[in-house]
Amino acid sequence: MTAGSKGIGLTTLSFTGADAAPAELTFQSGLNVLYGASNTGKSFVVKSLDFMLGSSRELPDITERRLYERAHLGLTLPKSGPTSLVRALAGGALELFPEGSIAIPHRSHNGRQMSARHDPSNADNLSQFLLEELGLGSKSVAVDANGKKRSLSFRDLARYCIVDETSIQSEASPAESGQYQSVTVERSVFKLLVTGVDDSAIVPVVDRKTFRASTAGKIEVLDEMVAVLTDQLDSDYPNSTQLADQYKRLEDNWASAKQALQDSQDSIRSRLGHKYELAETITSLQERRAEIEINFGRFEQLTLVYESDIQRLEAIEEAGFLLTLSSGKDCPLCGASVEFQKHVHGEDEIERIRAILSFLAASTRPWPMTTRP
């Protein structure tokens, strides 16, 4: 195949060893046919190509290969282009190099390590790498009539790429290997190559044998569980027929307990409400008592003021009385006789003023004060 094709093309197959000159076989674009006399290496070349494409079968231990250590397969890939695979003839993993040349040192370890075992979850294996190059990396194929599936492997396609003499001479269909257990998967692979449609949409079903075994196993497990529960019930509850009555009594007791709890909560709410009312009443009475105490203090201050005023009025009354006693006498200050004394007010006026003061003093005397609580 050419570099611009959508398939994988083989370019060279080479063998190298430390004590031998490289041996190389070149392939042409398109179909390549190896022919010749017997024992000239045709089958060895076919098995070597299969070996370099990930086969786990060991190469025949012929005398001609004992001087060589590694095999090199040059490829032309749809995405990566010219590529070279290197693998020890003893088997194991492969190394991938970006250019298909046999001039790569046989002891080089700078290539990308590729496992020969297929793993759809890891790209570092030859099968998945080549499938990704072909755009088939996520394809699935059915393996039995019940729809059981597995991921497509490049080993499923290798038998269509490399055909040996036995397959050419076989009368069976080239799409099948003749193995009964692999008929379904081989037909699924051939359908994928022809139509491009894989079997990922198939919904698997449980086969009859597995279903019967699974059902029988489940029934057996359930029977064992029922037997264990029955033994526990008989051990813990010898009179199991009375469990219904016990359950009824428990339900009644539970209902009574719930009602008692509800009554208690209602009583607590009522008492809390009464408590709040009493607290508000006490607060109101305390405020009223404080106001009364303030008023008592004010009344005491007024009493003191009234008593001071009474004493002052009594003093004025006494002074007026004394003034009336000294009337008609000589002035004690200057010694002037009565006829020479000039008064603004008469004696009767002083007596009237004294009587008024006596009345005011009597009428303004406060009532007796009670003691405060």
Using alpha carbons, list the distances in angstroms from residue 284 to 76, 277, 279: 104, 11, 9
Contact 17, 68 (CB under 8 A): yes
The domain ranges of the chain are 1-137, 141-204, 208-235, 244-363
What pLDDT was estimated at residue 270?
A: 92
pLDDT at 1: 41
Contact 369, 307 (CB under 8 A): no
Q: CA separation (Å) from 69 to 11, 21, 331? A: 20, 11, 167
Burial 137-169 (b: 16+ CB within 10 A, else e): bebbbbbeeebbbebbbbbbbbbeebeeeeeee
| Matching residue, tokens 């990308």 | 112
Strand order in the sheet with 70-77: 20-26, 9-17, 70-77, 81-88, 94-97, 112-114
Residue environment code for 98-124, b if the CB has 16+ CB neighbours within 10 A, otherwise e? eebebebebeeeeeeebbbebebeeee
Instruction: Match 């990396």 to its residue by tokens.
Output: 137
The token pair that represents 108 in the structure block: 């080089």
3-state secondary structure 247-301: HHHHHHHHHHHHHHHHHHHHHHHHHHHHHHHHHHHHHHHHHHHHHHHHHHHHHHH
Total residues found in the chain within this entry:
373
Phi, psi for 188 (deg, rounded to 5)? -65, -40
* pLDDT at residue 338 in the model: 65
What is the per-residue pLDDT for 102?
47
pTM equals 0.53
Stretches in the chain below the pLDDT threshold 70: 1-5, 100-109, 206-207, 210-211, 240, 323-333, 336, 338, 340-351, 353-354, 357-373
Whether 46 and 164 have beta carbons less than 8 Å apart is answered as: yes
Q: pLDDT digits over 129-180, tens only?
A: 999 998 888 899 888 877 788 899 998 888 888 888 788 787 778 778 777 7
CA angle 321, 326, 327 (to 5 degrees): 100
Q: Look at strands 20-26 and 70-77 and give their pairing.
A: unpaired
Residue found under tokens 């000159």? 21
What pLDDT does residue 3 have?
Answer: 40
Give the Cβ contact number of residue 175 at 10 Å.
15
Report which secondary-structure segment, H or E, holds 188. helix 183-195
1 vs 74: CA distance, rounded Å: 12
